[in-house]
Amino acid sequence: MTTALEPVLRLGISSCLMGEEVRWNGGHKRDASLLGLLNDYVEWFPLCPEVEIGLGTPRETIHLIGSVERPRLVGTKSGDDHTEAMEEWSRRQLEEIAGWNLHGFVLKRASPSCGLFRVKVRNAKGMPEHTGRGIFARELATRFPLLPLEEEGRLNDLGLRENFIERVFVYERWQRLLRDDPTPSGLVDFHTRHKLAVMAHSPELYRTLGRIVAAAGKTPWPELAEGYGIELFAALAIKATRGRHRNVLHHLLGFVKNELEADDKRELLEAIDDYAEGLTPLVVPLTLLKHHFRRVETPDWVGQQVYLHPYPKELMLRSHA
């Protein structure tokens, strides 16, 4: 159940993943596990680029031919070229999508229109020669470079799934900041709450973001927000390893360790080590730490860390990671 306190996320999605019968063969590719996981938190915005440009259902299959940077979208039998139609529709549609205020987009893998990674690009004889992006996916990523994008197939990987969902929730908060409090002090507050979450992904970019925030009062807002946003989402795109999580957990431990009994401290250190060695999920040391944070006084900014509550606990992602 969604609680009134949780944000409502707005995600675009390739409509065949919603169960709409829009594929070339008249079928769909409903992703029941993804929809089941996120339905309580998400308002979906489905879109089928190939139907939108008038190819109809069922239809001839199409594929990408030519260069990786700008392949042609052509019918496999007829050779009909749909490239301009898809590019022009995508650019028009993306202006409309800008008004949907999305927080992410889930795309269908391997599609010459929607595929985000490693879509086959063929040579003139029709043989796969390179890999690239579907045309709509390419235009989407160009128009909204910070918007979290992912393919449904990759979301079966629990690490990639957690990464995508974390980015979506951060993006929602980032958009809220830009809309409601676009000020240096708003940015300082945002950065303070996201410090440890960023540190788990990239200590280097954590320091870069700190430098950007330190100059917040001297940098014009558009430049400040753009620079911070680019580095923030670059950091979050880097996989958060068990080693980096261990560093963050030790950092958090530092705020309570002097107040703990020797047994409690040993238990926490063991829980962190077990997690770092892959023996337990992240939720184990985190739950112990949060238990001690409730008993021990810590600085306000520690309790405000989104690292401790990155998304609704019902998603249970940290029970697997």
Nearest-angstrom CA–CA distance, 262 and 317: 31
Q: CB-wise, 23 or 191, nearer to ligand SF4?
A: 23
User: Of 58 and 128, which CB lies nearer to ligand SF4 in the complex structure?
Assistant: 58
Query: Nearer to ligand SF4 by C-beta: 153 or 203?
Result: 153
Among 9, 11, 12, 23, which residue sits at the site for ligand SF4 (rule: CB under 6 A)?
Answer: 23
> CB pairs under 8 A, 24+ apart, for 248-252?
248/196, 248/199, 248/200, 248/307, 249/275, 249/285, 249/286, 249/289, 251/196, 251/199, 252/196, 252/289, 252/302
How many other CB atoms are found less than 10 A from the CB of residue 230?
14
Asked if 172 touches ligand SF4 (CB under 6 A), the answer is no
114: contact with ligand SF4 by CB under 6 A? yes
Smallest distance, Å, CB 315 to ligand SF4? 25
**Residue 202 in the binding site for ligand SF4 (CB under 6 A):** no
Backbone angles phi, psi at 128, to 5 degrees: -60, 130
14 binds ligand SF4 (CB under 6 A): yes
**Smallest distance, Å, CB 249 to ligand SF4?**
40
Query: Which one among 93, 113, 202, 208 touches ligand SF4, defined by CB under 6 A?
Result: 113
Residues 37-66 that bind ligand SF4 (CB under 6 A): 48-50
Give the residues across from 74 on adjacent strands.
Answer: 63, 81
Our CB check for ligand SF4 shows the closer of 135 and 317 to be 135
- Exposed / middle / buried, residue 315 (Cβ in 10 Å: 0-12, 13-18, 19+): middle
The CB-of-133 to ligand SF4 minimum distance in angstroms stands at: 13
Residue 5: what are its φ and ψ, rounded to 5°? -85, -20
**Is 108 one of the binding residues for ligand SF4 (CB under 6 A)?**
yes
| DSSP β-bridge partners for residue 75 | 62
Residue number, 154 or 251, with CB nearest to ligand SF4: 154
Tell me which of 9, 11, 12, 16 binds ligand SF4, using CB under 6 A. Answer: 16
Residues at the contact surface with ligand SF4, assessed by CB under 6 A: 14-16, 22-23, 48-50, 108, 111, 113-114
